[in-house]
Amino acid sequence: MFTKISFESELESEERATILLVDDELMILQSLELVLERYFRVIKETDPVKALDILEKEKIDVLISDEMMPGLRGCDLAERVHHLYPNICKIILSGNSDKKDIVKAINKGHIYSFLFKPVDVNQLLQSVKHGLENKKMKELIEHQNKILEEKNRDLVDEVLTKSRKIMDMEKFYELGKFSASIVHDLNSPLQTLITGYQLLEDELSNSGAEDSNANNIMTLIDSSLETLENMIKSISNRIKSSISEKQVEFDLNDLIERNIGCMKIMPKNSYPVEISFMPSQDLPKMKGVPLHFDQIFANLLKNAYDAVEKTEKKKITVKTLQKGEMICFYIKDSGTGIRPEDMEKIFETGFSTKEIGKGTGLGLVITKQMVNSYKGKIKVESEFGKGTAFLVCFPSK
Ligand SMILES: Nc1ncnc2c1ncn2[C@@H]1O[C@H](COP(=O)(O)OP(=O)(O)OP(=O)(O)O)[C@@H](O)[C@H]1O
Ligand SMILES: [Mg+2]
C-alpha cells in the first residue's frame, strides 16, 4: 500500500517503540495506525481524556495527537503529558492552525513537532524517528547525570571520611605526645621523692631511734615508690615501642591478662568489679604492634569498667576464641547498656555520654581505626539497662 521509505531499515532495527495515537476522527486514526504499526506498537484512542488514563498503565514513547478535539485540545493534552512524563516525545497534527497557535502550542506543551493535515507519511515517520532519538538522548543524559551525582556523592563521602580519619589520627598522636610528656614530667618529682626517701632513711638510721611505726611507714613508702617507678618505666617503654611501631609475634591471652591486671591496680578504679577471663587454649600467636592491641583492649575494658560504675551488678567477662581463620576476643559487661538510638553514634568522633572530664568520645574511634588497620572486625551488641558486649576479630595470618 505504501512505497518503501528510505529509512525503513533503520526504523525496523529499532526496538519496537510504543506510540499513543489520539484523534477524535476514527477514520484518520485508523489510517495513521496502518502506517505506524508497520514499525511501532500502536495504541489508539479517540477521547483525549481517556488517553491520559492509558499513560498511567502503558509505557509510551511517543504521543501523536490531533490538535482540534472536543474536550481537550492536543496542545493542552501534550502540556499535561509533559508535566507527568517529560521525556515522552509529543507530536501534534492539525488541519487549520495559524502560526501563532503553532508557536503557542509548541512552547506550552514542549512539543517536538507540529505537522499539518493531511499528513505526509514520510514526514510523520521522520518526525517519530528523530523524536525517539531525541527521547533516547534525553534519557541517556538523565542517566549519566544520575551516575555523576552518585559519583559526586561518593567522592564527598570519601573526602569526609578521609578528613575525619586524618583528624582522628592527629588527635591520637596528640594524645600519644601528651601522655609521653606527662610521663616525662612525672619522672623528675619521682626521682626527688626517691632521693628524699633515701635521705630520710639515712637520717632515721643515724638517729638510732627504734621507732617501729616510722619503720613501717618507711617500708610502705618504699614499696609505693618502687611500684610508681616501675609503672613509669613500663609506660615509657610502651611509648618508645609505639614510636618504633615494630611488628612482633605475641600471645593475645598474655596481653589481655596483663591489661586486666593493670586495670585492677589503677587507683581511680575504686569500686570492686568481678572480672573473669576465659582464655582459649591453643590460641595461635598474633602478629602486630602489641601496643596497638593494648590500646584496643584497654579502651574496651575501660568502657566496660565505666559502664558498671553505677549498676548494682558489676561483672565483666572476657573470652578469647578462634572463629575459622579469625582470632577473636569478646568482652561483655553487666553495665548500663547503650540506648538503641545511640548505637549508630558510638563510633563517631567526640560522641560520649560520660560527664565532661570523664569521656572524650575518642576511645571507640581509635579502637575501630586500629582494628581496621589490622583488617579486623568489631561488632557490638547491647541491651539498654542490661549490658553490652563487644566482639573483636583479626585474621590469623
Ligand atoms: N561497654 C559500654 N557500655 C555502655 N556504653 C558504652 C560502652 N562502650 C561505649 N559506650 C558508649 O559509647 C560512647 C563512646 O565511647 P568511647 O569509648 O568512644 O568514648 P568515651 O568512653 O565516652 O570517652 P573516651 O574517649 O575517654 O574513651 C560512650 O560515651 C558510651 O556512651
Ligand atoms: Mg571510652
What is the number of the ligand closest to the CA of 171? 1
Asked if 296 and 252 touch (Cβ cutoff 8 Å), the reply is no
Q: What pLDDT score does 3 carry? A: 44
Measured between alpha carbons, how far is 47 from 22 in angstroms, rounded to an integer?
7
Q: Tell me, in angstroms, the distance from the centre of ligand 2 to residue 280's CA.
A: 26
- From 364, 366, 369, 392, give the residue whose CB has the most ligand 1 atoms within 8 Å, as the site to mutate: 364
Pick 251 or 15 by higher pLDDT: 251
- What are the two backbone dihedrals, phi and then psi, of residue 258, each rounded to the nearest 5 degrees? -65, -45
- What are the two backbone dihedrals, phi and then psi, of residue 191, each rounded to the nearest 5 degrees? -60, -40
Q: Tell me, in angstroms, the distance from the centre of ligand 1 to residue 390's CA.
A: 12
Residue 219 has pLDDT above 90, yes or no: no
Q: What is the pLDDT of residues 343-396, one digit of tens each?
A: 999 999 889 998 876 778 888 988 998 899 999 999 999 999 999 999 999 998
Alpha helix (H) ranges present in 26-120?
Answer: 26-36, 48-57, 74-84, 99-109
User: What's the gap between Cα 277 and its chain centre?
Assistant: 34
Q: What is the pLDDT of residues 77-116, one digit of tens each?
A: 999 999 999 999 999 998 766 677 677 767 766 788 888 8
Q: Kindly report the protein residue whose alpha carbon is nearest to atom 13 of ligand 1.
A: 352
Which of these ranges, 36-40, 132-136, 264-268, 283-287, has the smallest mean pLDDT? 264-268
Q: Kindly report the protein residue whose alpha carbon is nearest to atom 4 of ligand 1.
A: 337
Q: Kindly report the protein residue whose alpha carbon is nearest to atom 31 of ligand 1.
A: 353
Domain topology for 8-119: Rossmann fold (3.40.50)
Measured between alpha carbons, how far is 314 from 142 in angstroms, rounded to an integer?
59
Which of these ranges, 9-13, 173-177, 244-248, 335-339, has the smallest mean pLDDT? 9-13
| Mean pLDDT, residues 23-50 | 93
Which atom of ligand 1 has the smallest separation from the CA of 337? 4
| Mean pLDDT, residues 328-342 | 97
Q: Tell me, in angstroms, the distance from the centre of ligand 2 to residue 384's CA.
A: 17
Q: Tell me, in angstroms, the distance from the centre of ligand 1 to residue 361's CA.
A: 6
Q: Tell me, in angstroms, the distance from the centre of ligand 2 to residue 308's CA.
A: 13
What is the number of the ligand closest to the CA of 352? 1
Residue 4 has pLDDT above 50, yes or no: no
Residue 14 has pLDDT above 50, yes or no: yes
Q: What is the pLDDT of residues 320-331, one digit of tens each?
A: 999 999 999 999
Residue with cell 509505557: 59
Asked if 310 and 355 touch (Cβ cutoff 8 Å), the reply is no
Q: Kindly report the protein residue whose alpha carbon is nearest to atom 21 of ligand 1.
A: 359
Q: Tell me, in angstroms, the distance from the centre of ligand 2 to residue 352's CA.
A: 8
Q: Is the peptide bond before 267 cis (omega within 30 degrees of 0)?
A: no
Query: Could you tell me the pLDDT band of residue 202, with boundaries at 50, 70 and 90?
Result: confident
Q: Kindly report the protein residue whose alpha carbon is nearest to atom 28 of ligand 1.
A: 352
Q: What is the pLDDT of residues 132-171, one digit of tens each?
A: 988 888 888 888 888 888 888 887 777 776 666 666 666 6
Q: What pLDDT score does 137 carry? A: 85
Could you tell me the residue ranges of all domains in the chain? 8-119, 248-395
Asked if 187 and 233 touch (Cβ cutoff 8 Å), the reply is no
Q: Tell me, in angstroms, the distance from the centre of ligand 1 to residue 236's CA.
A: 26
What is the number of the ligand closest to the CA of 350? 1
Residue 289 has pLDDT above 90, yes or no: no
Pairing relationship of beta strands 89-94 and 113-116 according to DSSP bridges? parallel
Which residues, judged by CB distance below 6 Å to any ligand atom, belong to the binding site of ligand 1? 299, 303-304, 307, 333, 335-338, 346, 351-354, 359-365, 388
Measured between alpha carbons, how far is 104 from 110 in angstroms, rounded to an integer?
10
| Mean pLDDT, residues 251-268 | 82
Residue 19 has pLDDT above 90, yes or no: yes
**What CATH class does 248-395 carry?**
alpha beta
Measured between alpha carbons, how far is 298 from 242 in angstroms, rounded to an integer?
15
Q: What pLDDT score does 322 carry? A: 95
